[in-house]
Amino acid sequence: MSATDPIAVFLTEAAELLEQIEAGLLDLTHRLDDKDQIDAVFRGLHTLKGSGAMFGFDALAAFTHHCETAFDRVRKGDVPATQELVSAVLAAQDHMRALIDQPNGDHEETSLVLLTNLQMAVDGKAGAPIAVPAGASAAVPVTAVKTQDGQKTWKIRFSLPTNAMANGTNPLGLLDELRELGTCIVVADTKAVPPIDLLEPTDIHLAWDVTLTTKSGRDAIEDVFIFVMDEMQLEISEAGGAPVAQAAKPAEAVAAPVVATPEPVAAAASAAAKDAANDSRQPAKVAENVRVPAERLDELMDRVGELVIAQSRLSQLADASVEIQLRAVSEDIERLSGELRDTMMVLRMMPVASLFGRFRRLVHDLSRETGKVIELVTEGETTEVDKTVIDRLADPLVHLVRNSIDHGLEPPAERAAAGKPEAGRIQLSARQSGGEVIITIKDDGRGINRERVRAKAESSGIIQPGAVLSDQELLQLIFQPGFSTAATITNLSGRGVGMDVVKKTVEALRGAIDVVSNPGQGSEISLRIPLTLAIIDGLLIRVGKGAYVIPLSAVEECLELSIEDDMRSRGRSFISLRESLVPYIRLRELFRTGTKPDPFQKIVVISTGTERVGLVVDQIIGDHQTVIKSLSKLHHDVATFSGATILGDGSVALILDVAHLVASGQQQEAHLRAAG
């Protein structure tokens, strides 16, 4: 599809409109009488309907027309805005996304259920809304057939996002869980698999058709996919028979369905004219932004990285030359490449507000689902992070927020008994610290029960009974695979999956996780993430005959270690630094260089948060603009290094993993203190 394809333009604008509609609806949940928000939601629905009709999305236009009519009645004062109406339109807004993603799908049943709920909300009728069928995007009819022993046969079709395996989801594990429910027949759909020369080994292109005979119900099947349901396509139906539950058509529709007009362009023009008439107070938008595909930015970043490497080579040649003109040109190129690098970094930066905004809807839905009163507070939304970092942090933050709500926040009655406000508080904050951004998820719930964590870890064989652990080591156990202290499995958590995926994702971003928890007061989980994944400022060092790079943002200071001090500290590798002992690691021994130490070794003190460790090196060469190159898959388990870079002379320097080295130094300190 070309970049100028009008359908592609519509899809982009529709995604923005849906985000605006969702934000307006969530704002209305706090201020139901806010006429500006009511008007904003109405305009968004009206524009989406007109654009959908213009580009041939007739089902979207017809469905959106009902929601638009409902908000038009609210806008005119005919009916009040209620929480039930907002929730009904929020659910309808999710269905609009499905109508855009799958315009030719069978959406009739889901549309009918949602419009029934919308009609009930507009009429102010009490009662629970009709449940929307699972896999709403496909709306497969649910049919019933029972065997003599009470078992049912279910037809299940599911497909995962292309990057699911990269985010830690194993489709084989999902199939194994389905097999545990009963007799299972699995058929893989390979139609979407690309030619082998275009195939990425880490991407998923398969879909699966499963025939499951089980005594379990739909809820048990949906629980298998609970942690990936937001991103996947899932269809569940019972085999054979007539439909079990068909939503009755509303006696009076909110408005007559929109009939596809033979002149969609004229219809869209009419819609635009009505928009202008209804909102003459709004100033005309000025096209100040240019949409650029992310792939082009990534390609440009690669070119800038190669330019930085070439500039480093040129600087090295100029330093060895006596030609003054060559040195002058080298300095100009160095200045220009530095400015280009900084400009490129800014282009890739996005405020974390785009990430935090997604959680308003999540918290709203979970509040209704759990019956807990939840207040979401965000801080530091203007903090900017690399776009790639934001994309990869979305799923980990969802897991953390879900766990804070399920495990952390108490029900209203329990909070009242503890003297806490009825509303539990979830705080998302972001701040920049050097070359890192620190994203914090904080709640004021019950905190982490350390006794239960230890008991679960010992019973699972993660640690030995009675093992001596620091408080931070104990809290870090919650990120072990399969670890969960939940007494029962819920729709939110309890299966022991999710938190280990969080840790793997953060570590893949060269980040670290800090946990602080006070019983009865809540928990705070901080993610320390690099601002960018492409180019960093590094400190170039030499150990033996090899060159290595330490991210400059982690460097606190450099000290000299004489041979006498080195020999004196043998057996207890500590230095006294302003009345505190800092452990240090001899990189020459860690890397087994087989060389003798330089007469005057150096200690580079690095830190992650409050923890520090020293690295003994032979020589500090100086500052170096580091273009990060990923290690091959053969080296994915080498924890000491996070990547590599190419030096000016063409040689390779490995980039040290600061978080791993600091953790190793702290463990060494703990062992020495225990032995002493």
| Of residues 63, 47, 142, 141, the one with CA closest to residue 100 | 63
Q: 531: exposed, middle or buried (C-beta count within 10 Å: 0-12, 13-18, 19+)?
A: buried
> b/e map of 147-167 (b: 16 or more CB within 10 Å)?
eeeebbbbbbbbbbbebbeeb
Q: Among 123-127, 147-151, 369-373, where is mean pLDDT lowest?
A: 147-151
Can you give the pLDDT at residue 492?
A: 53
CA distance 87 to 365: 9
Is residue 614 within 8 Å of residue 554, measured between CB atoms?
no
The torsion defined by the Cα of 158, 162, 164 and 166, in degrees rounded to 10, comes to 160
Can you give the pLDDT at residue 255?
A: 36
pLDDT digits (tens, 9 = 90+) for 393-411: 888 888 888 888 888 888 8
Q: Is 70 exceeded by the pLDDT of residue 591?
A: yes
Tokens of 273: 């004219």
Q: Is 60 exceeded by the pLDDT of residue 145?
A: no
Q: Count of CB atoms within 10 A of residue 435's CB? A: 15
Q: How big is the chain, counted in residues?
A: 676
Q: What is the DSSP string of 74-118?
A: HHTTSS---HHHHHHHHHHHHHHHHHHH-TTS--HHHHHHHHHHH
Find residue 607's DSSP bridge partners.
612
Can you give the pLDDT at residue 131?
A: 54
Dihedral of alpha carbons 628, 630, 631, 632, sign? negative
Q: Is 80 exceeded by the pLDDT of residue 152?
A: yes
Is residue 540 within 8 Å of residue 628, measured between CB atoms?
no
pLDDT digits (tens, 9 = 90+) for 482-520: 676 555 445 455 444 467 788 888 877 777 888 888 888
Look at residue 556 and give its three-state secondary structure. Answer: strand
CA distance 300 to 288: 22
Q: Is 80 exceeded by the pLDDT of residue 117?
A: yes
Average pLDDT score over residue span 331-338? 88
Is residue 59 within 8 Å of residue 137, measured between CB atoms?
no
Find residue 214's DSSP bridge partners.
152, 182
Residue with tokens 């630094």: 577
Tokens of 380: 């530091």
More confident residue, 158 or 294: 158
| Of residues 576, 589, 621, 583, the one with CA closest to residue 602 | 621
Cα separation values, 555 from 435, 511, 629, Å: 11, 15, 21
pLDDT band at 537 (very low <50, low <70, confident <90, very high): confident
Mean pLDDT over the full length of the chain? 77
Look at residue 156 and give its three-state secondary structure. Answer: strand
Is residue 45 within 8 Å of residue 64, measured between CB atoms?
yes
Q: Is 50 exceeded by the pLDDT of residue 266?
A: no
Can you give the pLDDT at residue 251?
A: 34
pLDDT digits (tens, 9 = 90+) for 421-476: 988 899 999 988 766 788 999 999 888 888 888 888 888 888 888 888 878 888 88
Average pLDDT score over residue span 102-108? 79
Q: Among 27-36, 533-542, 561-570, where is mean pLDDT lowest?
A: 561-570
Q: Is 70 exceeded by the pLDDT of residue 84?
A: yes
Look at strands 424-433 and 374-379 and give their pairing: parallel
Q: Among 80-94, 151-165, 215-229, where is mean pLDDT lowest?
A: 215-229
CA distance 344 to 335: 14
Average pLDDT score over residue span 233-253? 52
Can you give the pLDDT at residue 78?
A: 84
Which one of 8-22, 317-331, 336-350 scores highest in mean pLDDT? 317-331
pLDDT digits (tens, 9 = 90+) for 154-198: 889 999 888 888 777 778 878 888 888 888 888 888 888 888 888
CA distance 523 to 131: 34
CA distance 239 to 241: 7
Spacing of C-alpha 2 from chain mean position: 28
Q: Is 70 exceeded by the pLDDT of residue 276?
A: no
Tokens of 144: 């019933």
Q: For the chain, what percent of residues have pLDDT higher than 90?
A: 3
Residues 6+ apart with CB under 8 A from 112: 247, 249
Is residue 16 within 8 Å of residue 295, measured between CB atoms?
no
Can you give the pLDDT at residue 673?
A: 57
CA distance 366 to 408: 13
Average pLDDT score over residue span 90-98? 86
DSSP 404: I
Tokens of 250: 């509303």
Can you give the pLDDT at residue 132?
A: 54
Is residue 107 within 8 Å of residue 98, measured between CB atoms?
yes
Average pLDDT score over residue span 376-385? 88
pLDDT digits (tens, 9 = 90+) for 602-655: 889 887 766 788 888 988 988 877 777 777 777 767 778 878 888 877 788 888
